[in-house]
Amino acid sequence: MPVPATEQENHGHRVVLVTGPSGAGRSTAINVLEDLGFEAIDNLPLHLLPRLLDGPPIGRPLALGLDVRNRDFSVNALLDLIRQLAADPATDADMLYLDASVEVLQRRYSETRRRHPLAPSEAPELGIAREVDLLAPVRAQATVLIDTSELTPHDLRTELQTWFDPEPSGRMGVSVQSFSFKRGVPRGVDMVFDCRFLKNPHWDANLRKLDGRNSLVRDYVQSDPLCQPFFKSVRDMTTLLLPAYRDEGKTHLTIGFGCTGGQHRSVALAEKLANTLAKNGWQVSIRHRELERHARSVPPSSVG
């Protein structure tokens, strides 16, 4: 695993190779790393990399985007390069691999109507299958593997900051999410709270099409006699545990609220907890998985 940025030595080259299947977020990752102070170069021919590293360090870490569209790309050449960098004591290198499920990659290609580089005149599904198979040996060599299947660009930025920010704030980031149990618990959630015992606004025709960010839905959920004692218990638990997680060195913690549809109860309580934690000084982001899925025009918000 990569050494945290604060523990990096100040001599030698710092290099992050960024790759993964087309559509998994490689370009977004390159842009984020550039914002973090990396010298970013996308689609660099592999044979030029030794020349780039020949000589004194340039004073900034390097982020190099590599994919199948590179002019001289080959899996064997990339694996050889990874081994060479790992054996070089003057180079601190990581392989960042952005991945996503086949279903998500197919959906992203369908939404953008792009042609796949490995199937320019065929269905994108064929190109995706070929690329996933081609890159399997590279994936196995990744020092940082991030699955972007359920990540927004904001989530990906937060994840990359955890690994690669050369000047981390020292604050633990907290993500509060809502979701539907019918679609399963989101990956990577550290604490999960089930809201399905509360009164369901879905059965009120006036509230059914609204969501938990609406004051009418929020008031309805909070009118349940069990809501306030439940929320107080959650608030007290997180207030107790968050400092302990931070002191243990955890840089990011995810709290999830689930209900049947992921639209009303879980959203209302996720919003309430996120705002409570933000008022207490925590760095908090909010994500509503089902609202994002059904209404892509509503982005996740930030409250801290």
Mean pLDDT of 47-71: 79
What is the distance between the alpha carbons of residues 143 and 1, in angstroms, rounded to a whole number? Answer: 5
Mean pLDDT of 168-181: 82
Between CA 98 and CA 142 the distance in angstroms is 9
Is it the case that residue 243 has pLDDT exceeding 60? yes
The top-level CATH class assigned to 5-164 is alpha beta
Assign 167 a pLDDT band (cuts: 50, 70, 90).
Answer: low
Q: Would you list the domain boundaries of the chain?
A: 5-164, 173-294
Average pLDDT along the chain:
84
The residues, any chain, with a CB within 8 Å of residue 73's CB and separated by 6 or more, are 46, 66, 67
Residue 55's pLDDT is what?
67
d(CA 95, CA 15) in angstroms, rounded, equals: 9
Between residues 285 and 177, the one the model is more confident about: 177
Instruction: Provide the β-strand partners of residue 93.
Output: 15
Q: Which amino acid appears at position 201 of this protein?
A: P
* 0.75 surpassed by pTM: no
More confident residue, 224 or 87: 224
Cα–Cα distance for residue pair 258/288, rounded to 1 Å: 10
Please name the residue ranges forming H helices in the chain.
26-35, 49-53, 75-87, 102-112, 124-140, 153-164, 215-222, 227-247, 265-279, 289-294
Residue 299 has pLDDT above 50, yes or no: no
